[in-house]
Amino acid sequence: MNGKDIFKWSSKQIAETLMMSPAAVNSALQRARETMDRAQLRSDELSSMDVQPEQQLLSQYVEAFEQFDIAALVALFHEEGCMSMPPFEMWIRGKEDLSAFYSLTRWHCEGSRFVPITVNGGYPALAQYMPGKEGSGLVPWGIHVIETKENQILHVQNFIHTPLFSDLGCLSELTNEFRHWLTSISLRITKRRIS
């Protein structure tokens, strides 16, 4: 998968981003696809995607993020844990940097809610909705795909591309009524876990 496949970028957009000609982009993509088809390679990272995250870990991630409890959120990460946000060129690695990043982005993420979804033929993921400007509901923000190692978060890929929401069959907005329903479900699940 690449920018053309995931983000539906045109060859021209990719070429401008990479400072290449559209013809060179198309040629490179064609060669890469042919090489992958011939070799049928699977890297360690891709192989790790075959192991789905435990539901309890996903629930803890959702709870910590929705409450924006930075200490609890960062504690879920493996010592090698990291986060990326395609299409942005950023890579945050290590608990100290993750904590600093979450502290800096608190204003943007507080009040977010997640809806569980699946990607890539059934792999669990989370659709993040954040408060809209009008305050009437929550709007799409990112698709979180979580890779794990030793039942901890190894990598969160947060795809910041709102057209993915409709591609994945997600709602275009969460109304306040739906948001309250999600919150009440979340509270009931949390109470059951504590009991």
Task: Dump pLDDT digits (tens) for 165-179.
Answer: 988 888 888 775 555
In tens, the pLDDT along 114-141 reads 999 999 888 899 999 998 877 668 899 9
CATH 3.10.450.50 boundaries in the chain: 47-194
d(CA 156, CA 146): 5
Q: Does domain 47-194 have CATH number 3.10.450.50?
A: yes
> CB of 147 within 8 A of CB of 154?
yes
d(CA 21, CA 154): 36
Pairing of strands 174-175, 152-159: unpaired
Per-residue pLDDT of the chain (195 residues; tens, 9 = 90+): 444 455 567 778 777 777 778 888 777 777 776 766 655 544 444 455 557 889 999 999 999 999 999 999 999 999 999 999 988 888 899 999 999 999 998 888 899 999 999 998 888 999 999 988 776 688 999 999 999 999 999 999 999 988 889 888 888 887 755 555 555 555 444 444 444
Q: Is 98 left (phi over 0), alpha (psi -120 to 50) or beta?
A: alpha
Instruction: Name the residue among 121, 112, 114, 106 with its Cα closest to residue 165.
Output: 114
d(CA 113, CA 92): 22
CA angle 147/153/157 to nearest 5° reads 50
State phi, psi for 14 to the nearest 5 degrees.
Answer: -65, -45
